[in-house]
């Protein structure tokens, strides 16, 4: 549809609505002022203001007359020469939610400048007439526009299902990908069989989103067809298939997942999936790891997480005796650990760092904050807390807990911490941390930062943003008693 054709249709619909008998109502003064602000206001503010004025209006008959007149006025603005005006008009029509705006908005999809907003508005209105026009634009290469087109189809819901199923076999892989995403979010059982049929799609991204869609729907018909995908030629697809099978918690996947435990690349994600399946997976695990034999530590962890009490006892004994090698302790928390196992580690481990790591993992962010604050105020807790941080770091990138603890130590301003903090800069240091040391107001730490910068050939920032952590801030802020 050309832009001129779209504008002709928009003007036609505006005139049609304005010609209705009820359109002769006089607009309230505050509404006239609000409408005049269409060129300058934020879209959300403009839309909410219009809707609120309509809601606060007079008796129902007059209110409906005013609403109809506003819709006609907004539709007329869809052909305005200024993008901001068109954008705000579209946004307001979506929030008002009248089906009278559907056809004009469909015509406005030809306007690439506001297409995303139009798609969002049509999704809010939820009229089935918008399904085909929205699908027709899924080949749009702009990612933001594509997101809003998909989101609108998802918002319309079930009427989108059959047309999107048809798009699973489209020649364009981007459209097949969109179809899988939309069907997964709508989660209609009608999509299960067609999605299963596309698990072998030649495109990696399509297979990924087909697996994701089947996982969102959660229909057990997908379990056995999904199992071969854990050996997909694309590793990202493999990971996703393993995760989805774990989330579906169906024991039929256990045997195949157990075979992946010998593959170091997929071991952790397979272990997590088996833990989600839980005790039903023990038969497959015991077939691979008989009780009478000695197993690698990670096999004992998987067995313990899945409910094998003998394995749990063995793990706890090793922790209590501190017989795990250091490299094994460092990877312990990269596996999923069940609440029962975390409690045992917290209560039995000889290594204080492991106990703190279990406590923090079990308690989450709030628990970590309490632990870090305690360590920043008690030198005896500093080393085991740092060990706990090291234990909970993985090859996927270290946590921010080390930085948080160092910053808290600076704020507490205990001189006994200075040698430790200098050591931590060498251990964990980066440009940001060294810059904080430089500006924290403590001479020894500032000198350590300069020495670090010299060793690492860095020039530290003089940006005042790094002066936010000051030595002894917490003490200075405490009220005098």
Residue whose pair of structure tokens reads 């530290």 in the numeric block: 460
**pLDDT tens per residue, range 352-408:** 999 999 998 888 888 988 998 888 888 888 889 888 888 887 544 445 777 788 888
Average pLDDT over residues 238-263: 96
Q: Residue 272: how many CA atoms within 13 Å on its side-chain side?
A: 15
Band (208; pLDDT cuts 50, 70, 90) = very high
User: What pLDDT does residue 399 have?
Assistant: 56
* Other C-beta atoms lying within 10 Å of the C-beta of residue 225: 17
CATH number of 1-156: 1.25.10
Judge whether residue 101 has pLDDT over 50: yes
C-alpha 74/C-alpha 86 separation (Å) is 9
**pLDDT tens per residue, range 451-479:** 999 998 888 877 777 777 788 876 555 44
Q: Following DSSP, what letter does each residue of 118-160 receive, concatenated?
A: HHHHHHHHT-GGGHHHHHHTTT---HHHHHHHHHHHHHH-GGG
DSSP state of 198: T
Question: Which residues are CB-contacts of 440 (< 8 A; sequence separation ≥ 6)?
Answer: 410, 446, 467, 469, 470, 471
Where do the DSSP E strands lie in 159-259? Answer: none
Q: Is 46 helix (H, G, I), strand (E, B) or coil?
A: helix
Average pLDDT over residues 4-14: 48
* Other C-beta atoms lying within 10 Å of the C-beta of residue 1: 12
Average pLDDT over residues 105-120: 95
Instruction: Tell me the torsion sign for CA atoms 4, 6, 12, 14.
Output: negative
**pLDDT tens per residue, range 194-203:** 999 999 999 9
**pLDDT tens per residue, range 255-266:** 999 999 999 999
Chain mean position to CA 354: 29
User: pTM of the predicted model, to two decimals?
Assistant: 0.78
Q: Across the chain, what does the average pLDDT equal? A: 86
Average pLDDT over residues 25-51: 77
Judge whether residue 143 has pLDDT over 70: yes
Tell me the percentage of the chain whose pLDDT exceeds 90.
53
**pLDDT tens per residue, range 395-423:** 444 457 777 888 888 888 888 889 888 88
User: What pLDDT does residue 330 have?
Assistant: 78
User: What pLDDT does residue 156 have?
Assistant: 97
């Amino acid at each position: 549809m050309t832009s001129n054709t779209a504008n002709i249709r928009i003007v036609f619909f505006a005139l049609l609505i304005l010609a209705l008998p009820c359109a002769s109502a006089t607009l309230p003064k505050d509404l006239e002022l609000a409408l005049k602000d269409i060129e300058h206001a934020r879209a959300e503010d403009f839309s909410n203001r219009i809707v609120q004025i309509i809601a606060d209006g007079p008796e129902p008959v007059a209110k409906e007359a005013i609403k109809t007149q506003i819709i006609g006025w907004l539709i007329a603005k869809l052909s305005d020469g200024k993008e901001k005006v068109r954008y705000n008009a579209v946004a307001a029509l979506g929030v008002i939610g009248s089906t009278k705006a559907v056809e004009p908005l469909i015509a406005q999809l030809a306007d690439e400048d506001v297409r995303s907003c139009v798609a969002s508005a049509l999704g809010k209105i939820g009229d089935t007439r918008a399904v085909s026009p929205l699908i027709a634009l899924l080949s749009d290469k702009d990612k933001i526009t594509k997101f809003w087109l998909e989101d609108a189809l998802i918002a319309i819901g079930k009427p989108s299902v059959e047309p999107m199923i048809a798009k699973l076999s489209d020649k364009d892989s981007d459209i097949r990908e969109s179809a899988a995403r939309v069907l997964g979010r709508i989660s209609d059982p009608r999509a299960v069989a067609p999605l299963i049929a596309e698990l072998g799609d030649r495109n990696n991204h399509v297979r990924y989103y087909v697996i994701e869609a089947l996982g969102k729907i959660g229909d057990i018909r997908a379990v056995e067809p999904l199992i071969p995908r854990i050996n997909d030629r694309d590793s990202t697809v493999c990971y996703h298939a393993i995760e989805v099978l774990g989330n579906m918690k169906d024991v039929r996947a256990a045997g195949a997942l157990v075979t992946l435990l010998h593959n170091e690349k997929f071991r952790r994600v397979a272990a997590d999936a088996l833990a989600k399946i839980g005790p039903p997976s023990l038969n497959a695990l015991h077939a691979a790891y008989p009780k009478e034999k000695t197993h690698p530590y990670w096999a004992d962890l998987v067995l313990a997480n899945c409910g094998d009490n003998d394995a749990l006892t063995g793990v706890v004994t090793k922790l209590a005796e501190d017989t795990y090698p250091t490299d094994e302790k460092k990877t312990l928390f990269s596996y999923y650990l069940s609440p029962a196992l975390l409690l045992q580690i917290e209560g039995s481990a000889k290594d204080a760092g492991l106990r703190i790591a279990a406590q923090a993992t079990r308690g989450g962010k709030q628990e970590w904050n309490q632990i870090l604050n305690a360590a920043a105020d008690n030198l005896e807790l500093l080393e085991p807390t740092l060990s706990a941080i090291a234990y909970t770091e993985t090859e996927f990138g270290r946590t921010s807990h080390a930085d948080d603890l160092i910053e808290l130590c600076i704020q507490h301003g205990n001189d006994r911490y200075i040698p430790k903090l200098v050591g931590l800069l060498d251990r964990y240091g980066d440009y940001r941390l060294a810059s904080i040391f430089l500006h924290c107001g403590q001479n020894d730490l500032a000198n350590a930062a300069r020495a670090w910068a010299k060793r690492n050939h860095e020039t530290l920032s003089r940006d005042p943003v790094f002066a936010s952590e000051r030595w002894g801030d917490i003490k200075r802020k405490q009220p005098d008693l």
